[in-house]
Amino acid sequence: MRSSRDNGTHPGRRIRGLGSLLSALLLVAGWLMGCESGYQRIDRRVDALVREASGELGPDAPPPKGVLPPKADASPSDELYRERPPTVNPSASELKFQRVRDADDVLGRLKSYNEVGEDAMRIDLPFSLAYATAHAREHQFAQEEYVLAGLRLLVERHRWGPRFFDEITAEVLSEGDDGFYETSLRLVNEFRVTQRLPYGGELSARALASATEDLHNRVSDDAQEATIILEAQIPLLRGSGMAAREELIQRERDVIYAARDYEQFRRDFLFQIAQDFLNLVVQQQSVVNAQRQVAQLREVEQRERSLYEAGRTPLFQAALAEQATVSALDDLNSRQEGYRLAVDRFKLRLSIPIEQDVVIAPSSLDLPVPEASLDEAVREAMLYRLDLQTQRDQVDDARRRVLVARNNVLADLNLTGAVGINGDPNVNHVHFDPGETSLRAGITFGLPLDREIERIGVRQAQIDLERQELEYGAFRDEVALEARAAVRDIDRARYTLEIQERNVGIGQQRIASIEAAPDRADARDASDAANELLVAEDRRDQAKRDLEVAILSYLLETGQLRVNERGFIRPLPGMDGD
């Protein structure tokens, strides 16, 4: 090797030249990273991926919006690293318990619970669905699950794309010789690119540049080296073919499953929110019915009291009427508390602040009754149910895993090769000499002597396939059962509604006849008539709710429910009477 004096360059210049090259590379990398934030690029790619996956489901399955970037993040804090977080748990002596006052107006407090402020939020069914779609935690969670599937796919795709690495190493070397140490500084830069091959194996390219400067004696020999290495490893048996792409294939399919799951969630969510709201309307109406019953019983009580004071009826009739009124008041308070609790739970589900006063505005879906047969409902469910399609595709996933497990039992047969081109260390610039090229090629065969674990894996995959097929068969039968039940529920709800409408009419006629001839009925007859009318009105309101829920359930169970971006039902042809 020639000295630095022989080649006319100073070793420090070589190191400074290498450092300048490294600095230039870092500047270029910084410029590229500054053009677009890495997280912004990820968000953009996930958004495009989710839109593409949702597009596979058609125009009626809009992708989620506004999920990325996440609202939650973490920043360094002493609280995060505290090994013993504090607990608030005072002793009994530190707590207080205040007994109720004897003169406390319990009835007045109960009435105050029903009061709402002037800023009360008016909630109807369309508002509930839109607000839940925009704010509900369940909906946000479902969106994030969808996005996480997209992120997992991006990770796997990145593994299959070209991957760049650059490492810079600075070393101080010291070697002793009879008590005299020669110290040198060595800088090494390794830049490499790796690329997975489509059907197994990997191709890589590495560029190594190093420079060494003797720190003890500036006139001693120094060295610089540069090498380019191209390597390839290709499996021919185990790990080759489509088995090598299993993770990528599964991640691609998982995104489609996630798109279906998200769309299925939107449909289930609409059904659940609508059902909860309709239940609130029924409870609200039951309170109104109970209030009307109390008013009727109070009139009976006043009449019986007047008759007793006039000496026309015994005292027990007036007492019986008063007892019926008190019982009705207690029932009214129970219904009001149940309604208040249901409203609070509904607010929580919609992510409305619990302290926000709301007013439930009665509204309905106004869905027409569909004309459907049992066989038609089952056929539509088999074609359109997204969760059934996913279950069917997961059987194919299990079959594919059996093939991958069998591939793992094969022997290892790998081709390897490498080409190395060395640079000329005696020139003051990067120069590669073709005469310094080195070639290497080989084949490696590994006998499958120990494949017990892999053979067990085959059996596990086969059992998993059988279970997946059984689960699919059971789920398919369950879907058929639910579709048939949905059709029957519509007929049952229609019949129940007709019966309860007649019961309400009969109850109203009974009340009217008593009011027309009060002397011919006693207090028990009046209270029984009021109670029967209340029961009939409650059942009628429940039947109306049940019919709307049954129609919505039919659309959901047969896979025909479509949801727009605001979370409301997208009408199907024929729903509007055309």
The answer on 166 and 143 residing in a single domain is no
215: pLDDT strictly greater than 80: no
The answer on 462 and 323 residing in a single domain is yes
Find the helix or strand (DSSP H, E) in which 322 lies.
helix 315-350
In a domain, 573, yes or no: no
In a domain, 319, yes or no: yes
For the domain that residue 349 is a member of, what is the CATH number?
Answer: 1.20.1600.10
> Amino acid identity of 446?
G
The answer on 136 and 277 residing in a single domain is yes
The answer on 331 and 465 residing in a single domain is yes
Burial class (CB in 10 A: 0-12, 13-18, 19+), 553: buried
The answer on 277 and 218 residing in a single domain is no
**Where are the alpha helices (H) located in 351-451, listed in sequence order?**
374-384, 386-407
The answer on 477 and 418 residing in a single domain is no
2: pLDDT strictly greater than 60: no
Total-model pTM: 0.84
Query: How many alpha carbons lie under 13 Å from residue 304 in its C-beta half-sphere?
Result: 26
The answer on 275 and 309 residing in a single domain is yes
Max mean pLDDT range (18-32, 82-96, 104-118) = 82-96
In a domain, 71, yes or no: no
Contacts 24+ apart (CB under 8 A), 66-69: 67/140, 67/143, 67/144, 67/146, 67/147, 68/43, 68/147, 69/39, 69/43
What is the number of domains present in the chain?
2
In a domain, 73, yes or no: no
Listed residue (210, 238, 235, 213) closest to 224, CA to CA:
210
Quick one: pLDDT at residue 426? 58
Least confident of 26-40, 51-65, 281-295, 463-477: 26-40
Listed residue (162, 163, 166) closest to 209, CA to CA:
166
Mean per-residue pLDDT for 391-419? Answer: 96
In a domain, 285, yes or no: yes
Quick one: CA dihedral 343, 539, 362, 336, positive or negative? Answer: negative
Express as a percent the part of the chain with pLDDT over 90: 49
The answer on 260 and 141 residing in a single domain is yes
The answer on 335 and 265 residing in a single domain is yes
The answer on 547 and 463 residing in a single domain is yes
Distance from C-alpha of 248 to C-alpha of 153, rounded to nearest angstrom = 7
pLDDT grade for 17, boundaries at 50, 70 and 90: very low
299: pLDDT strictly greater than 90: no
Degrees to nearest 5, angle at CA 376 with 372 and 378:
115
The answer on 313 and 295 residing in a single domain is yes
The answer on 389 and 252 residing in a single domain is yes
Give pLDDT tens digits for 345-390.
Answer: 999 999 999 989 999 999 888 899 999 899 999 999 999 999 999 9
Quick one: pLDDT at residue 416? 95
In a domain, 98, yes or no: no
In this structure, how many other beta carbons lie within 10 angstroms of the beta carbon of residue 75? 5
In a domain, 6, yes or no: yes
Q: Calculate Rg over the CA atoms of the chain.
A: 39
Give the structural domain span for 24. 1-35+162-196+201-238+412-446
In a domain, 333, yes or no: yes
